[in-house]
Amino acid sequence: MTFPQLPDSWKTVLAEEFDKPYFKDLQNFIAEERKSKTIYPPQTDVFSAFELTPYEQANVLILGQDPYHGENQAHGLCFSVKPGVKIPPSLVNIYKELEDDIGINIPNHGYLISWAKQGILMINAVLTVQAHTPNSHKNKGWETFTDAVISKVNQKQEPVIFVLWGGYAKKKLKLIDANRHTIIQSAHPSPLSAHNGFFGSKPFSKINSALHQAGKPEINYQLTVTADSI
């Protein structure tokens, strides 16, 4: 596994992770998996969240759990899918809340890179998965790596907004200094739990309110309505 997409800022803050035994074991595991199995996302997309949101620009962190495991879905950003791919149920619910919260027109695609380019670091706790086999790369080392990412973002001097949807994400609270940063929590947007506290939680207006208070640019959540214009 190589890191051509990692901006220098991330290579610097995460440098010590790359030399640790767990990460070398993880590299070897992924390399072996790719020899005989279909692994998502493609290797060139594994670190795209970091490419799109350099360390110094990360003002918001949204944490997912496991990449989408269907064909052409995962491309390195949590909850996002490539243009032309059916919008997954969790993202459908995110769009519903987005429309209810701030009146955004719902697009016909799930390609969220414009959010990432505006400073939302959109990572999953696990960055790869075997095709059609959810959680197949759980407990192989990715969680240690992404915990380090969360910790490094927590160490930023300026305030950051951490968005934790669902019980799994909330386990990362221990890595975040709530006295310095804003934490937005709710149920997960999946169809199984969205009605238990995600709908009506207004995370998007809360993010922009916190950014405004910190003197940072607010997020323009409006995506191009059709994927054709991306």
In the residue annotation, 8 being an active-site residue is answered as no
- Which tens digit of pLDDT belongs to each residue from 119-175? 999 999 999 999 999 999 999 999 999 999 999 999 999 999 999 999 999 999 999
Stretch 58-87: mean pLDDT: 95
Q: Which of 131, 149, 130, 128 is nearest to 65 (CA)?
A: 128
Domain chopping of the chain, boundaries? 8-214
Identity of the residue numbered 70: G
Place of tokens 């890595």: 175
Q: Which of 122, 210, 113, 201 is nearest to 160 (CA)?
A: 210
**Tokens representing 133?**
């086999």
Stretch 82-111: mean pLDDT: 95
Q: Give the span between the Cα atoms of 167 and 169, in whole angstroms.
A: 6
Mean pLDDT of the chain: 94
Q: Which of 72, 60, 114, 62 is nearest to 225 (CA)?
A: 114
Query: Looking at residue 7, what is its pLDDT?
Result: 84
Q: Which of 164, 202, 200 is nearest to 181 (CA)?
A: 164
- Catalytic pick among 8, 25, 66, 100: 66
Q: Which CATH class name applies to 8-214?
A: alpha beta
Neighbours of 75 (CB within 10 A): 23
Tell me, yes or no, if the pTM score tops 0.85.
yes
